[in-house]
Amino acid sequence: MRTPIDPEEEPQYERLPVINLMHIMLQQKKRIGLSFTQNADIIRILEKDGRFEWNGYYHAYHCLNTPKNLSWIMETFRGIAWINGKKFFERAYYGNGEPPKLIEQWRNREKEKGKRYAPKEYLDKLEAKCYSENTCRTYITMFERFLNAHKEIAIMHIQEQDIVDYLRFLKTDGKSMSYMNQMLNSIKFYYETVMGMPNRFYQIDRPKKKKVLPKVLSEEEVADMIKCTDNVKHRCIVSLLYSAGLRRSELLNLEIKDIDSKRMVIYVRDAKQGKDRHTLLSERVLKDLRVYFKEYRPKKYLFESPDGGQYSHTSVTNVVKRAAEWAGIQKNVTPHMLRHSFATHLLEHGTDIRYIQELLGHNSTMTTEIYTHVAVNQIKDIQSPINFLNLD
pLDDT tens digits along 256-310: 999 999 999 999 987 776 678 999 999 999 999 999 999 999 999 999 998 888 8
| Cα dihedral 151, 152, 157, 158 sign | negative
> Among this protein's residues, is 78 annotated catalytic?
no
User: Quick one: CATH architecture of 219-373?
Assistant: Orthogonal Bundle (1.10)
Beta-ladder partners of 25: 30
| pLDDT tens per residue across span 227-251 | 999 999 999 999 999 999 999 999 9
53: which residues sit within 8 A by CB, 6+ positions away?
61, 62, 63
Q: Whole-angstrom Cα distance, residue 18 to residue 86?
A: 12
Residue from 215, 272, 277, 321 carrying the catalytic annotation? 272
Measured between alpha carbons, how far is 266 from 257 in angstroms, rounded to an integer? 9
Dmax (CA) for the chain in angstroms is 88
Q: In the chain, where does the domain assigned CATH 1.10.443.10 lie? A: 219-373
Nearest Cα to 247, choosing from 178, 339, 345? 339
User: What is the C-alpha separation between 313 and 119, in angstroms, rounded?
Assistant: 26
User: Which contacts (CB < 8 Å, 24+ apart) does range 101-105 have?
Assistant: 101/133, 102/133, 102/136, 102/137, 103/127, 103/136
Tell me the mean pLDDT in the region 178-189: 91
* Domain range 103-194, CATH class: mainly alpha
Query: Which pLDDT score is estimated for 327?
Result: 95
Q: Quick check: 38 pLDDT over 90?
A: no
For residue 24, the cross-strand partners are 31
Q: How far apart are CA 83 and CA 18, in angstroms?
A: 6
Which of 234, 247, 248, 340 is flagged as catalytic? 247
Q: Which residue did the predictor score with more confidence, 203 or 362? A: 362
CATH architecture assignment, domain 11-84? 2-Layer Sandwich (3.30)
| Phi, psi angle pair for 230, to nearest 5° | -80, -35
CA 337/CA 215 separation, integer angstroms: 6
Paired sense of beta strands 18-26 and 82-84, if any: parallel
Q: Mark whether 247 is an active-site residue.
A: yes
When mean pLDDT is compared across 23-32, 65-74, 191-200, 350-359, the lowest value belongs to 191-200
- Which of 59-63, 85-89, 211-215, 358-362 is the least confident region? 85-89
Query: For the CA atoms of 58, 62, 67, 73, what is the dihedral angle to 10 degrees?
Result: -110
* 15 Cβ contact partners less than 8 Å away, ≥ 6 residues apart: none
- Cα angle 147-151-157, degrees, rounded to a multiple of 5: 80
Q: Which of 6, 145, 152, 2 is nearest to 87 (CA)?
A: 6
Confirm whether 345 is a catalytic residue. Answer: no
pTM score, whole prediction: 0.59
Q: 234 an active-site residue?
A: no
Identified catalytic residue from 30, 171, 175, 336: 336
Catalytic residue flag (residue 336)? yes
Question: What's the pLDDT band for 5 if we cut at 50, 70, 90?
Answer: very low
Segments of the chain assigned to CATH 1.10.150.130? 103-194
Q: Regarding beta strands 29-35 and 60-64, do their DSSP bridges make them parallel or antiparallel, or are they unpaired?
A: antiparallel
Residue 8 scores a pLDDT above 70: no
Range list for CATH 3.30.780 in the chain: 11-84
Q: What is the chain's alpha carbon radius of gyration, rounded to the nearest angstrom?
A: 27
Q: How confident is the model at residue 384 (pLDDT cuts 50, 70, 90)?
A: low
Which member of 200, 235, 339, 345 is catalytic?
Answer: 339
Element (H, E) at 41: helix 40-49
Local confidence band at 2 (pLDDT 50, 70, 90 cut-offs): very low
Number of other residues whose CB lies within 10 A of the CB of residue 293: 15
- Spatial distance between the Cα atoms of 168 and 161, rounded to a whole number of angstroms: 10
* pLDDT single digits (tens) 104-163: 888 888 889 999 999 999 998 888 887 877 888 999 999 999 999 999 998 888 888 899
Q: At a CB cut-off of 8 Å and minimum separation 6, what does 373 contact?
A: 213
- 145 catalytic? Reply is no
- Measured distance CA(290)–CA(303) in Å, rounded: 13
